[in-house]
Amino acid sequence: MLNRFALAAIPAALFAVHAYAAYPAWQEGTTYTAGTFVSYNGHDYKCLVTHTAYVGAGWTPSGTPTLWQDQGVSSGGTPTPAPTATLQPTATPKPTATPVPTASPTAAPTATPKPTATPAPTATPLPTATPAPTAAPTATPAPSAGCYTAWSSSTAYNGGDKVTYNGRNYQAKWWTQNNIPSSNTGDGLPWTDLGACGGVNPTATPAPTAAPTATPKPTATPVPTSTPTATPTNTPTATPKPTATPVPTGTPTATPAPVATPVPTSTPAAYKPQITYITAPAGYPTDAQFSAAETALASQVGTDSSTLARIRAALAVLPDAQVNAVTAGNSNNPDNVKRVERIMNEAKFDSLFPVRNVAYTYVNFLRGVAKFPAYCTTYTDGRDSDAICRKLLATSFAHFAQETGANWPALTPATARTYPAQNNPVLATMDQNTAIPSYKQALWYLRESGYNEGSAVGAYQDCFRGAGSSIFSIFYPCGQNSAGQTLDYFGRGSKQLSWNYNFGPFSKSLYGDVNVLLDNPGQVADTWLNFASAIWFAVYPQSPKPPMTWVVDGTWVPNAVDVANGMSPGFGATVQIINGGIECGGGGAEKSQVQNRIAAYKSFTAELGVTIPANEVLGCANMKGFQPGSAAATKTYLDKNWGYNANNPGGVSWACSLVDYQMPFSLANPGDYKQCVDYMFRGQVKFNGQVVIDNTK
């Protein structure tokens, strides 16, 4: 998902403290699930790790900060008396560690998600040993846990970014800088404690993409997810722009003609926050006036009048009926799918991804491509469409390898065949005892390790709890499983899309309805959305970051701000888009994750017949990231206009303004301007039958 997109992060300054009802009193002998809230001695606490509070163990919420997070003075309820002292057993079972929920992407892409976010994406850990090829096991190889880059007070982190501080791992919920992780965890605070360094499996890649909240403007761009951005130091000398393809002179033409919102927004389930609107007062803008205001703002989006048209073209989608009709070799396939087929047929796909999860099929990939006509599109301005597509595929696959690969040096076909989910027919045709190159181990993970569909342990959730909840929890409301528990939006698919604020925008981009995937997130793993989620991230502009497609095809041309920050076209810039906050900047040698990506990129370009220009910058150690003022920086998001209009009752503006921080409303989506004004001036949010947010006053 995310970088400033719905694969983006929620700035800490914009996040209000949740309002809670009275929670049940903490009791010994009870098993608590991560995310559960209790009251104890006049304070509310949130469970961080699933565990049983064994009688006599003394694991009170106030005395075990590794298990419980203090939420402050209780909003209600009777303080729990301290347990009666008893003899402590000589050996107490250690509580099982459970992934702790963190609030944005892409990463996430390595994010984020998360999902990207993504959202943000992180390196996939290497399994520590090669299991003997015995009877087919049910689990995938367990990656060894590790530590992340040390936290720095001078670095700006985005949602999904992971760091290590004082021997513990932390994940950023949204954009943050100079907030010490150990003292800034919990609801309304920017960090989540993931446990001791080396004690918790890092996610395959958080997505895109976390989402910031309204009002203040963050100085750095938050991401899907998973999908963090960096602001390290060291400004390198400007690198000449690679010349793989001619510089664009116009907007690429997407074929066939896509539609923006194929499905109308549904009514959210009764347990979700319900947005209602009071009757429009006298003098309220008409539909024609809303349309005119939206058109007037279009010229303010970017540096030229075509900016909004380019963004909308990048996000255009094909209706599902046409997508589902795509099959290998079908003469009616869309033009961009036919191009991909010419470059990479099914046999080539099998050879490049021999250990992929069986849900990652060739047809699913073609359908993911079909959904977004801007991916491998036809250019009519002189650029070589096939050459650009080859390079785009090599770039995407290199990131797949880092984000979803097994990264198992000793993995052989014989071993891979013992895993039912990876036992692709092509493995039987390979030398059974020769190790599979790491770049060909991509797409091993379909779901983030340690999670299953229906999981509800409180992970990757920014859910509505009442007044004070983020605006994203309202417009991207969490779904529930059959037991009435809030779903986890852990990493799924080739981008490992994560977080509800990435699943929601992705769902809206595809179907015009956020609830489709928020209520059924498993579709991102089990259908062609497992590839479409990554392709969506590749085409999605995340101001001030360009989409990866614009880096590859030359649409993004660095300006003076970019050059000063060491940004230049090439593979390194795409790493910056996906996971710059963790993997880029700081100077010196490239981080190990980036080295892995570069190695995979070189291998995939060779496989697909792409020549890497001598001056293409492959790494990102000397890049400071995409900053405000970048050539790709735009204003598309919308927030309340607080200005005074003497012609309206009370001087209200009845208008929304363009902003450069993440919001649920975007000028990229026709109709969002009216939705923004309606919500900000006529909207009320009801939860459990009560009005908890009233924008009409």
Confidence of residue 226 (pLDDT cuts 50, 70, 90): very low
Confidence of residue 661 (pLDDT cuts 50, 70, 90): confident
| pLDDT, mean of residues 624-644 | 93
Write down the mean pLDDT value for the chain: 78
What's the CA gap between 564 and 627, in Å, rounded? 10
Note the pLDDT of residue 55. 59
Burial 15-47 (b: 16+ CB within 10 A, else e): beebebeebebbebeeebebbbbbbbeebbbbb
Task: Check: CB of residue 210 under 8 Å from CB of residue 160.
Answer: yes
What's the CA gap between 351 and 453, in Å, rounded? 29
Note the pLDDT of residue 146. 65
Residue by residue, DSSP assigns 545-569 as BPPHHHHHHS-----HHHHHTT--S
- Residue 145 pLDDT exceeds 90: no
| pLDDT, mean of residues 602-610 | 98
Confidence of residue 169 (pLDDT cuts 50, 70, 90): confident
Note the pLDDT of residue 198. 52
What's the CA gap between 228 and 210, in Å, rounded? 9
Note the pLDDT of residue 501. 94
> Residues with catalytic annotation?
403
Note the pLDDT of residue 66. 63
Q: 443 or 61: whose pLDDT is higher? A: 443
| pLDDT, mean of residues 262-277 | 78
| Percent of the chain clearing pLDDT 70 (strictly above) | 74
Would you state the CATH architecture of domain 25-73? Answer: Ribbon (2.10)
Note the pLDDT of residue 37. 86
What's the CA gap between 76 and 130, in Å, rounded? 53
- Residue 369 pLDDT exceeds 90: yes
Short-list 293, 272, 212, CA closest to 677: 293
Note the pLDDT of residue 26. 82
Among the ranges given (23-37, 91-105, 368-382, 503-517), the one the predictor scored with the smallest mean pLDDT? 91-105
Q: Which amino acid is at 260?
A: A
| Percent of the chain clearing pLDDT 90 (strictly above) | 55
| pLDDT, mean of residues 627-632 | 92
Number of alpha helices (DSSP H) and beta strands (DSSP E) in the chain: 18, 15
pLDDT in tens, 110-126: 333 333 333 333 333 33
Among the ranges given (240-254, 329-343, 352-366, 429-443), the one the predictor scored with the smallest mean pLDDT? 240-254
pLDDT in tens, 186-206: 655 677 878 776 533 333 333
- CA distances (Å), origin 468, targets 36, 187, 240, 473, 697: 19, 11, 48, 10, 16
Here the tokens at position 396 are 């995407």
- Residue identified by tokens 């417009």 is 475
Q: Is the model's pTM score more than 0.85?
A: no
pLDDT in tens, 396-441: 999 999 999 999 999 999 999 999 999 999 999 999 999 999 999 9
| pLDDT, mean of residues 170-198 | 73
Confidence of residue 607 (pLDDT cuts 50, 70, 90): very high
| pLDDT, mean of residues 15-23 | 44
Note the pLDDT of residue 186. 65
Here the tokens at position 564 are 């000063």
Domain boundaries, the chain: 1-22+100-385+406-590+616-697, 25-73
- Residue 217 pLDDT exceeds 60: no
Note the pLDDT of residue 62. 83
Note the pLDDT of residue 231. 32
Among the ranges given (56-60, 144-148, 527-531), the one the predictor scored with the smallest mean pLDDT? 144-148
Give the best-scoring range by mean pLDDT among 17-26, 79-88, 332-341. 332-341
What's the CA gap between 139 and 412, in Å, rounded? 17
Confidence of residue 299 (pLDDT cuts 50, 70, 90): confident
Note the pLDDT of residue 180. 81
| pLDDT, mean of residues 652-660 | 94
Among the ranges given (128-137, 380-389, 506-515, 582-591), the one the predictor scored with the smallest mean pLDDT? 128-137
pLDDT in tens, 37-91: 888 888 888 877 666 676 556 678 887 776 778 888 875 443 333 333 333 333 3
Q: E-strand spans in 166-317?
A: 168-172, 176-177, 191-196, 274-277
- CA distances (Å), origin 621, targets 87, 154, 421, 586, 595: 55, 16, 36, 6, 11
Confidence of residue 173 (pLDDT cuts 50, 70, 90): confident
